[in-house]
Chain A
């Protein structure tokens, strides 16, 4: 999908906590932190946390890299492919703070919005997400 198709994911008005991670199979720190997002999904999906892994791989890499990666890692979180090469247009729409380096992650709920251009460990994600969960 291109950015216009993807953009509704950045501003859903529900009671969920959205954790949107931008990654690519060629990005070593991204691949390293995928298990942390998977663990977040496994631990908090039932509590209303939606983890979305947005791949920036090229369409040519989907068959030979992205799908095998998803299968090998047995990824349970939702994965989207964002294919929109004119990134200067859409990077600031994700966050004005984003220089464009990946990994990068947006975490938001009704009352909170955070942007992180960094690599995460599970405990660090949990520390941000847990206080945002309602009725926990």
Chain B
């Protein structure tokens, strides 16, 4: 009985954690997920990275599509400075066939993504982060051998028109880390597509 009780409280704890996800300052879990090039990718593979720009992303969402070119630019600008982009597709591919692995490969080729684009096929990673939408950014900073959440939210303040952007939240957050400062703001919101699960 005691054992059952502790299992139940552990389960409860797990559910609570998954419902809330990470806040800034939390240590982010690593993963081993299939990339569009057929390899498996973990954050630990990025041995020289000072951090990771983790973006929950997909193919079909118009808000993601609006940001694809900006994601490419961010990677090209910040990967050489130690902050590469990794895009993770968290969607169930039965619920949203446009986000299937083969469609991901097609999209990565069409857009010539310079960053890794991996699939959270078992949908076990996004709940731990507390990602709720695409695109949803988690900027991680390497501290010793761990990745610590430094910024959560949007890429910038205008999805529709890159030319109208007034605040580049994500780029500013990375710049802050590179300068040894804390991102401000460290949390922003944006409209996005829900993460698709099977009904």
Binding site for B on A (CB under 8 A): 24, 26-29, 56, 58, 85-89, 91-92, 98-103, 117, 119
**Which single residue of chain B is at the shortest CB-CB distance from A57?**
B62
CB pair B190–A88 under 8 Å, yes or no, is: yes
CB pair A99–B193 under 8 Å, yes or no, is: no
Instruction: Report the separation of the CA atoms of residues A54 and B189 in the bound assembly, to the nearest whole angstrom.
Output: 18
- The prevalent SS among residues of A at the interface is loop
CB pair B188–A88 under 8 Å, yes or no, is: yes
- When the two chains form the complex, which single residue of B153, B161, B193, B195 contacts A27, counting CB atoms closer than 8 Å? B193
CB-defined A-B contacts under 8 Å, sample of 13: A29-B194, A85-B159, A85-B161, A86-B158, A87-B154, A87-B191, A88-B188, A88-B189, A92-B189, A100-B132, A100-B192, A101-B193, A102-B193
Instruction: Report the separation of the CA atoms of residues A98 and B188 in the bound assembly, to the nearest whole angstrom.
Output: 11
Instruction: Report the separation of the CA atoms of residues A26 and B164 in the bound assembly, to the nearest whole angstrom.
Output: 23
Residues of B within 8 A of A87 (CB): 154, 159, 189-191
CB pair A117–B132 under 8 Å, yes or no, is: yes
| New A-B pairs, 9, CB < 8 Å, besides A85-B159, A92-B189, A101-B192 | A29-B194, A58-B160, A86-B157, A87-B154, A87-B189, A87-B191, A88-B153, A91-B190, A117-B194
How many B residues touch the partner, as a band?
20 to 34
B96 within 8 A of A: yes
CB pair A99–B164 under 8 Å, yes or no, is: no
- The prevalent SS among residues of B at the interface is loop
A-B contact count (CB 8 A): 64
**Which single residue of chain A is at the shortest CB-CB distance from B62?**
A26
Q: Which of B136, B159, B169, B193 has the most CB of A within 10 A?
A: B193
Knowing A85-B160, A86-B158, A117-B132 touch, does A100 contact B62 (C-beta < 8 A)? Answer: no
Q: Please name the 9 residue pairs, one residue from A and one from B, whose CB atoms are nearest each other, closest first.
A: A101-B133, A99-B132, A91-B189, A101-B194, A88-B188, A100-B189, A101-B132, A85-B158, A85-B160
Contact with A along B142-183 (1 / 0, CB 8 A): 000000000001100111110010100100000000000000
Binding site for A on B (CB under 8 A): 61-62, 96, 132-133, 136, 153-154, 157-161, 164, 166, 169, 188-196
**Which single residue of chain A is at the shortest CB-CB distance from B169?**
A88
Residues of B within 8 A of A99 (CB): 132-133, 136, 189
Residues of A within 8 A of B62 (CB): 24, 26
CB distance from A61 to the nearest CB of B (A): 9
Residues of A within 8 A of B159 (CB): 85, 87
Instruction: Report the separation of the CA atoms of residues A27 and B160 in the bound assembly, to the nearest whole angstrom.
Output: 16
Residues of B within 8 A of A26 (CB): 61-62
Residues of B within 8 A of A58 (CB): 160
Instruction: Report the separation of the CA atoms of residues A56 and B133 in the bound assembly, to the nearest whole angstrom.
Output: 15
CB pair A85–B194 under 8 Å, yes or no, is: no
